[in-house]
Copies of this chain bind each other. A is one copy, B any other.
Amino acid sequence: MKFNNRNVFISNKATIGKNVRIGDDTTIYDNVIIDDDSIISNNCIIGEPLSDYYDDTNYENPITRIGKSSLIRSHNILYAGSTFGDNFSTGHRVTIREYSNFGVHCRIGTISDIQGYSSFGNYCWLHSNVHVGQKSTLGDFVFLYPYVVLTNDPTPPSNICIGPTIGDYSQVAVFSVILPGVKIGRHCLVGAGSTVAKDVEDYQLVLGMPAKNIKDVREIKSRESGEAQYPWPFRFDRGMPWENSGYDKWKDEQ
C-alpha cells in the first residue's frame, strides 16, 4: 500500500541498495547511501541539508549512511552527515540532526529529537519523545524511556556544550533529566522523574530531584517472584544478541 512511487523524489546523487523499498511522498537528498534490504517508509526526508545550505551556493551535502535491514517509519527527518548502523529502526516523526552516529540495532521512538553531534553504541533503545542534546555519548544497550532529556549547557545561555555520558546497560526511566556533563556508569537505573546532577557509580539506583543514591540495583527484587531484577540482561532478551544463547554464554563469547 505504501510503495506506489507516488510523489517520491530521489536525488541522482543518492545510492540505493538492493531490495530497498521507498514509500510515497518521501524525499532522499544528495549523498545518501541506503544499504540493502532497508525500508524507508512514506513522508520521510533523508539527508536533510544542514543550515549552511540555505546561504552557501557551493554547499555540498555531507554523506548520510543507513545500514542494511533498517526500517525508518513515516515522517522521519534524518539530517545529512549522520550514520546509522545495520538494523536501525525508528517510530514516526523522529528528527535526527547532523553528525549523530549510531551502532547496530538501535531503535528510536516516535517524536524523539536527537540534536546531533552525538554518539550511540549498539542496541541503544530510545522510546517516545526522548530529547538528546548535542555532544551526548551513550554506550551499548542503553535504554532511555519516554520524555527523558539529556542537556548540555550548565549556565544557560552560554557557549559551553558538555553533554552527558551514559555507560553500557544503563536505564533511564520516564521524565528524567540528565544535567550537563554528568557521567552515569554501567548497569545503573535512574528512577522516574529524576534530575541527575551528579555522577552515578556503576550499578546504582538513583532517584529524586536532585537524584540521590537509593541502593545497589542488584538489591532490587521483583514484588511478585522475589527474584533479582538487575542486572537486567539475565532476565530480558527480546531483540538482544543473547536472545537464543542466554546472557552468560553470549558474554563469555565476546
* A7, B24: Cα distance in complex, Å: 10
- Judging by beta carbons under 8 Å apart, are B74 and A92 in contact? no
* A122, B226: Cα distance in complex, Å: 39
CB-CB < 8 A to A1: which residues of B?
11, 29-30, 49, 53, 61
* A32, B28: Cα distance in complex, Å: 29
How many residues of A are counted as interface, with CB atoms below 8 angstroms from the partner's CB atoms? 70
Q: Which of A98-106, A173-181, A242-250 contacts B (4 or more CB under 8 A)?
A: A173-181
User: A2 with B49: in contact, given A95-B92, A195-B192, A235-B158 (CB under 8 Å)?
Assistant: yes
* Cβ-defined partner of A146 (8 Å) among B24, B25, B71, B151: B151
CB-CB < 8 A to A156: which residues of B?
143, 145, 171, 173, 232
Q: Look across to chain B and name the residue whose beta carbon is closest to the beta carbon of A240.
A: B157
* Cβ-defined partner of A157 (8 Å) among B25, B29, B42, B236: B236
Q: Which of A1, A159, A192 has the most CB of B within 10 A?
A: A1
- Judging by beta carbons under 8 Å apart, are B195 and A195 in contact? no
Q: Look across to chain B and name the residue whose beta carbon is closest to the beta carbon of A91.
A: B95
A90 within 8 A of B: no
- Judging by beta carbons under 8 Å apart, are B6 and A6 in contact? no
CB-CB < 8 A to A208: which residues of B?
209
Q: Closest Cβ of chain B: how far from A187's Cβ, in Å?
A: 13
Q: Which of A4, A54, A149, A208 has the most CB of B within 10 A?
A: A149
13 further interface pairs, Cβ-Cβ under 8 Å (given A1-B53, A129-B129, A143-B157): A6-B9, A9-B24, A54-B71, A77-B92, A115-B128, A129-B131, A145-B151, A151-B192, A154-B223, A159-B236, A175-B175, A177-B193, A193-B195
| Sample (23) of A-B pairs whose CB atoms are under 8 Å apart | A1-B29, A1-B61, A7-B25, A25-B27, A27-B42, A45-B74, A54-B71, A75-B75, A93-B95, A95-B111, A110-B113, A111-B113, A113-B128, A115-B128, A129-B129, A129-B131, A131-B146, A149-B174, A151-B174, A155-B229, A159-B236, A174-B177, A175-B177
Which residues of A come within 8 Å of B, CB atoms? 1-2, 4, 6-7, 9, 11, 24-25, 27, 29-30, 39, 42-43, 45, 48-49, 53-54, 61, 71, 74-75, 77, 91-93, 95, 110-111, 113, 115, 125, 128-129, 131, 133, 143, 145-147, 149, 151, 154-159, 171, 173-175, 177, 179, 192-193, 195, 208-209, 220, 222-223, 229-230, 232, 235-236, 238
